[in-house]
Amino acid sequence: MSATTPAAPKPREMMHLNTRSDARGASRAAIHVGLLLATGLLVHASPGPLVLPAMLLLGIVQAALFAPLHETCHYTAFRSRRANAIVGWLAALPALRNWHFYQQFHLAHHKHTQDPDHDPELTPPPPGDRAGYLARMIGLTYWRLQLTVWADGWRGDLSRYPFIHPATAPRVIASIRAGSALTVALAVAAGLAFGWQALILYWIGPQLLGQPLLRLYLFTEHTGCSEDSNGLTNTRTMLTSPLVRLLMWNMPFHAEHHLYPFIPFHRLRDAHTVLRDRLSHVGPGYARWHRDHLRTLK
């Protein structure tokens, strides 16, 4: 950082924003559940080909369950640690994720942000050509990873994941087994009770349609940022619509979150007010960012 570049405030100077709230977390979770129910009813009511855009909307809201999964990993969605763990664990299931595994993955990402040798989000690294970009965005890499984690959990061997400490591996393995077994059991039960078409309409189809939008969203957070430990330059904040901020629990304020991961989602806008003139990467919007990024690929 040059002598003319303003430094970020020290964590102790931002601790006044560490106001975790069960009420704020419950309110945002209730909104998310309401959107899931509303878009699910829209799928049910949509005739003929109109069911596809309805499934896309449901898929977007389902994919956005990544936001409470992420927030609870930091224990900032709620004041109660138990509420964070329960809500996060359940939010992970529709996308075949596991809360305990992702928490270890994500904390390693925070510890080693943009370090090519240690940041698990850089394995594999961002694609350098359009074919790799397309494969990443449609979710091929994502679904392969989730199924691999399931398989490794049932084998009882997480040695391929260096961010999983051997002391915590048994708990993570037990959680993977419980989550995957519950997911399969619920899918079979729903298929038997409501017909197998219901699984496609309300879960499989929406997931396949919605996850690419989440890939597009997540790809902007660090791609093209500095590969160093400077939180003002290694993470991107995106200026976006209130609806996206609502769905993603204010996580488009991502540089603010990385600098101060103890700040809960409902205070990140306040952190942005403090930091906005110091951030190196503030994107004007997701569509524009991806358009510009594609021009750099072969």
Is the model's pLDDT at 3 over the cut of 50? no
* pLDDT per residue as tens digits for the range 44-101: 999 999 999 999 999 999 999 999 999 999 999 999 999 999 999 999 999 999 999 9
Alpha-carbon span 39 to 45, nearest angstrom: 10
pLDDT at position 1 is: 45
Whether 3 maps to a domain, the answer reads no
Domain count for the chain, please give it: 1
| pLDDT surpasses 90 at 200 | yes
pLDDT the model gives residue 4 = 57
User: Is 61 part of any domain?
Assistant: yes
pLDDT of 205 > 50? The answer is yes
- The model's pLDDT over 20-50, given as tens digits with 9 standing for 90+, comes to 999 999 999 999 999 999 999 999 999 999 9
Assess if residue 54 is contained within a domain: yes
In a domain, 179, yes or no: yes
List pLDDT tens digits, range 245-266: 999 999 999 999 999 999 999 9
Say if 11 falls within a structural domain.
no
Query: Is the residue at 15 inside a domain?
Result: no
Question: Could you tell me what percent of the chain has a pLDDT over 90?
Answer: 97
Structural domain contains residue 9: no
Domain carrying residue 282 = 20-294
Average pLDDT of the chain, as a whole number: 96
Structure confidence at residue 298 (pLDDT): 87
Residue 4 lies in a domain: no
* DSSP per-residue letters across the chain: --TTSPPPPPGGGGGGG----HHHHHHHHHHHHHHHHHHHHHHHH--GGGHHHHHHHHHHHHHTTHHHHHHHHTT-S-S-HHHHHHHHHHHHGGGT--HHHHHHHHHHHHHTTT-TTT-GGGSSPPPSSHHHHHHHHHTHHHHHHHHHHHHHHHHT--TT-TTS-TTTHHHHHHHHHHHHHHHHHHHHHHHHHH-HHHHIIIIIHHHHHHHHHHHHHHHTTTTTS-SSS-TTTSS-EE---HHHHHHTTTTT-HHHHHH-TTS-GGGHHHHHHHHTTT-S-EES-HHHHHHHHHTT--
